[in-house]
Structure 1
Amino acid sequence: MSDEEIDLKSLPDEELVKQMHDDLYDGLAPEIVEGTEILLERGWSAEKTLGEALVEGMRIVGIDFRDGILFVPEVLLAANAMKAGMELLRPLLSESDADRLGKVVIGTVKGDIHDIGKNLVAMMLEGAGFEVIDLGINNPVENYLAALEEHRPQILGMSALLTTTMPYMKVVIDELSERGLRDRYIVLVGGAPLNEEFGAAIGAD
């Protein structure tokens, strides 16, 4: 990007959205906030702003992260910029809960205090139109059960970064099965050391 200051207000909608993609890629939170405000002032809905400016921008970041062009620090900067824009949009989105795709309860499992990936997933799910209940880190099975009872989501998401905490996901799934609750939820598991084989082996979806 050029070092010249870009006047976001002078850009037509399409160019502004492209500029926001660039700013998101560069992790420029103040510019994302300004761009979000401008689009809302121009009559864009919160849903359209979120989808076309923020989620699409993060999709581009995700592709370059997958391809090894970007690394975790850059992705975190982009995620923080998206979060800044989301803070403006969240109250507006909550007014139209009828349009939500469903509810997701998500949290990092007991013994694990890593939440970078989980936070990114939660943000992207929220951006896609889900209501997300984030339980944070170090969650024993009781936390998941209580949240499922309280919020009645369609999806349960569990995260683990450590190979030593991965097996706890099975503890949660087995407890759901024993209580006859397993089939009520789509269970998603994720984390750097996980793969599809592990997910299938522990009974996740």
Structure 2
Amino acid sequence: MSLSPLYLVSHDPGLLRHWQQSLAPQPAILLPSFEALSQAAPTAGSLIWLDGVLPDLPGWADVRWRSWSQRCRLVFTHSRPDEAQAKQAFEAGCVGYCHAYSDSQTLQQVQAVVSAGNVWVGRELMQQMLGSARRAAPPVPAEDWAQGLTEREREIALLAANAASNRDIAARCDITERTVKAHLAAIFGKLNVSDRLQLALRVHGIS
């Protein structure tokens, strides 16, 4: 299976080098600015990592975000990530948000999750967003969220909803990561959710 084109966009040579080394061996196109990305005209389905401190990064209200997110998968990063910015990034259509200088293992996990068509939200940020959602709205009854799931699917859904990675879940349940992915796909289908964030909101009784 061919890999989607990979674009790494930052004006920081050190960050570009960290990303490139972490995401090897997949070849990447390195770009210094958002304008350079526009000129490169990535094909549909491309995966784009964006440095959140790019000088020419458009504001969140800019219509270009929606245009880009409809054609490509955007991972937004920042050296000082916060919940408010993460929400703006996801509302703009990004499918991943993480610390720009995350360790190589985390960057690889982000890459794998978003490449599979899912949304990446780190453990700490997930907990922050869930906490804010609980405070912002009355919770809905959650006792029946697991109807239709098997006991193993319920176990995996609970772990995933609390930001456990596929590797963590595999170790906890003594199964392979491939089996975890298969269970998650079945869970998403049965609960009519599209990603881990929606699953977490459902499990925690927020939606």
Superposed pair shares fold, TM > 0.5: no
Greater helix percent: which structure? Answer: 1
* TM-score, normalised via structure 1 length: 0.30
